[in-house]
Each structure stands twice: as C-alpha cells, then as structure tokens.
Chain A
Amino acid sequence: MSIASGNVFGFWLFIAISALVIYTINASQRGKLKVTIRPIAGLEAIEECVGRATEMGRPVHFSPGLGDVVTTAAADTLAALQILSYVTDVAARYDARFLVTIRMPNVYPLASETVRQGYIAANKADAYRENTVRYISSDQDAYAAGVIGLFHQEKVASSILAGLYMGEALLLAESAARLGIMQVAITASVTQIPFFVAACDYTVIGEELYAAGAYLTDDKGRLGGIAAQDYIKLIVIVFILLGTFMTSMGSNVIQELLTM
C-alpha cells in the first residue's frame, strides 16, 4: 500500500497537524501551556444581546446558519452549535425567551439536544419548551422568509446569526435592522461578511467563528486547539515567505515539496 502521488505531503502534514493539536490540547489541559485569546468584541456583546431581550421581555433569536453537518460546512455548523450552547446557558440564567431556527434537518436534533442540555445544566429544565428549536425549511429562501416572519410575529429583540450563510444573509440582517433588532453575526462566509458588517451591530469574522467556542467557555482543551491553529498559521507564513524567496531565486523546490 502506498500513498497516491500528489497526496504524500498532504498526508504527512495531516499527521503532523493532528499530533500538534493533540499535544497542545493535552499541554493546555495539564496546565503546561497557558493560552490567552485576544479580546473579540463581537463575542463579548452576546451577553448584552440576551440581557437586552430579557429587559424588553421579548425573545432572543439564534440561527446556527445554513450549513449541514455532513458537508464541508460541518466545521462552521459545529462551531455555531458551540456558540448555541453558550447562548442557551446565558438565556437560561437570564430567564430570557429563546428561539432557535433551523434550516438543515440534520442540524435539528443536534441543536435541540444542545439547547435541552443547556437548560438542564443551568438547573432550568422546566423552562425548556419543545418549540424553542424550530425547523423552518431546507430551502434557503423559504428559511429566510420564515425567519423574517418570526422577527415580526414574535417581536424578537435580539438576534445572533452564527455559522455558514449564503445569499439570504442580507435579507435576514437588513430585515432585523429595520425592526431595531440588536444583532451579532458570527460567520466565516467571506462573501456574506460585507452585508453583516453593514447591517449588524457586531460582526465576528472569519476564523474568529472557530475560536468562539474556546473564547466563550474558557475550556482549556479548546484553548489548546486554538493555540495549535496559531502554530500552524505561523508555519504557513514561514512556508509562504520561503516559497516566495525560492521562487524569486528561480527554484520551485517548495512548490514541488507541497505537491509531492
């Protein structure tokens, strides 16, 4: 058995990255590696979002995005579910009315279980309602229409949009902005970030989505994972600089190594 040509470097890189992630998670959990994340303003605003809804006696809305857990959007959706866990905890502590809307059927059981467990962990199991998590539609436009309708009909006070978004991002964000709904958007969808920046009160962009779970929970294991990602980015920076230098010198040795 041999590794297919073109995948050799990728395979060993995968092994190296996995080893690094496992090491940093272990080191962080044992206290050997102290990890501190720089402040991310948008994530600090989540509690303000829930607090505002509580004071107004109106619901706080959360969407884990349009992504599924069985596609390449899995990372975005799972990161959004980590944020959902935190928002549920805050909503349960504040006794805020909570509303979660779902687009993908596969995400529904995960979100439902996350919210239910969140209420149980906060000793507020009685406050959990079966209709807290609502499946709207797997069609993205119908999902947007359904959520916009809920904004009006339920008189939502704040909205947190996390995960993967597509063309309906502006529909959701702009409709909420017109209603004076406080919004925090947390997404790595590059093409939709401009609309969230324009229409939302706070926008958490790019890889900040993947760091959000560690940032909000201060979980040592997750913080170790974020440290590993930073080390990988630093290695990538070194490779790019080295590759640029070698290319300028007329050598493609780095490119050939990467495509081995």
Chain B
Amino acid sequence: MQISTNIWQWISVACVFGMWSLPLYKDNPFYRVCQNVFVGSCAGHAIGIAVGNIVNYGFQPLGQGKLDLLIPIILGLMLYTRFFPGIAWLSRWPVAFLVGVGVGQTIYTSLRSQIINQSIAAMTKFPGQDLASSLNGLISLIGLLAILTYFLFTVPQSRFVKGMSQLGRWMMMVTFGVGFGNVVSGRLSVLLGELLKIFGDWLGMI
C-alpha cells in the first residue's frame, strides 16, 4: 500500500467523502463545505466561460468591424435593466427574443423527429421475416397505439379508450422498469470509478 502524496488526490477524496457524508450520515459542516466549494467553483467556471465568450465572440469581432454584433450585445445588456425599476420593462424584450428562438427551434425539430420520423418508423410490414419479428412488430404497433391513446386528454373515456389507456400505462411501466435497470447498472459503474479513485489513486491498494 502506498498512499498518494499528491495534494489534489487528497482534496478530491476528501470532497467525495464529504458528499457521501450526507446520505450515509446526515447534514453536517463537512458536507456543507464540500457542497459550497462545488457550487462555487462551478459558478466561477461558468462566469469564466461566459466572460471568455463575450470577449472572443463579441468584443473582439466587434473591434474588427462586425457591427451586427451590436444587436445581441445591446439585447444582452437590456437583460440587466431589470435592476433599475424605471426601465425594468426593457428586460422583457431580450427574454421575449430568447423564448421566440427557443419555441421556433422546438417546433421544427419536434415536427420532424417526433411526428414524421417516428410515424414512418412505426409502419412495419406484416407478416415479418419470421414469427418472432412479426410478433415483435405487432407488440410495438399495439404498444404505440395504446400509449398514444393514454395521452388523449379530451376524448370521451369510452370503454375502448379506457381499455387502450390501461394497456398503454402497462406498456409504459414495463419500459420504465427496463430503463430503471439499465441506469442502475450505469450508476454502479460510476460508484466503481469512485472506489477505484479511493483504493487505487489515493491509497495505492489496487
């Protein structure tokens, strides 16, 4: 066993223990220190990146004569007018612009990927190449239609619609169960990575 002499390994492992102390023990000053260091360093990093972006993609090209960049810079500055009550209403303009861009992007991508492409993918050929692929296709098709029915909110709940909704709910629960299992195994690999750091990089036991 050869314990690491690297100060950053010690700090890293101390932070891991600090974060683990909350679920394994309870809220404590050690956890709070680690939490605040983590949140604070992330905030500092984000500010650094933001300032870098403003300088590299805003002020520098502006200095080279790209005057159209004045528009986003002014819109950005208008966001801060909310701190001045007299002109606070100006901050709504850039927010409205941001929301407009977001909604515009969403409409295009949703229409293409979530309606057209998924509808095409659902159109399977029956019978399939063999019995197994035919069954698979049938389960997929019925499952899709049942789940779509579950998400019909305003249609009168007749016996057929209710039955399909129930089937859709069961289909979703099975899918969620599979997803849960997959992610749990993924999280275990993250835990193993942390244990490797402690027993390998820090304690030198592995």
Q: Given A138-B46, A152-B27, A243-B123 in contact, is the A14-B107 Cβ separation under 8 Å?
A: yes
Q: Is B42 an interface residue (CB 8 A)?
A: yes
A243-B116 Cα distance, complex, nearest whole Å = 12
Residue among A13, A69, A215, A223 with max Cβ neighbours from chain B (10 Å): A69
Given contacts A72-B110, A258-B120, contact A234 B152 (CB under 8 A): yes
Q: Is the interface of B mostly helix, strand, loop or mixed?
A: helix
Chain A residue with Cβ nearest B27:
A152
Give, as a whole number of angstroms, the nearest-CB distance from B22 to chain A: 7
Binds A, one of B54-62, B66-74, B97-105, B193-201: B97-105
Binds B, one of A50-58, A83-91, A120-128, A139-147: A139-147
Flag if A239 contacts B119 (CB, 8 Å): yes
**Interface contact tally, CB-CB below 8 A:** 170
Nearest Cβ in chain A — how far from B194, in angstroms?
13
The tally of residues in B whose CB lies under 8 Å from a CB in A reads 59
Q: How many residues of A contact B (CB 8 A)?
A: 73
Q: Which of B14-38 contact A (CB under 8 A)?
A: 19, 22-23, 27, 31-32, 35, 38
Q: Complex: how many Å from CA A77 to CA B99?
A: 10
CB pair B43 A70 closer than 8 Å: no
User: Is A19 at the interface (CB under 8 A from chain B)?
Assistant: no
Q: Which of B32, B111, B125, B180 contacts A198 (CB 8 A)?
A: B180
Whether the Cβ atoms of B154 and A10 lie closer than 8 Å is: no
Give the chain A neighbours of B170 by CB distance below 8 A: none
Query: Among A38, A153, A258, which residue has its beta carbon within 8 angstroms of that of B119?
Result: A258
> B203 on the interface (CB 8 Å rule)?
no
Interfacial chain A residues near B120, Cβ < 8 Å: 243, 255, 258-259
Query: Could you tell me if B119 and A240 are in contact, using CB atoms closer than 8 angstroms?
Result: yes
Interface: A26 (CB within 8 A): no
Complex interface residues of chain A between 1 and 53 (CB less than 8 A to chain B): 9-10, 13-14, 17, 35-38
B172 contacts across to A, CB distance below 8 A: 193, 205-206
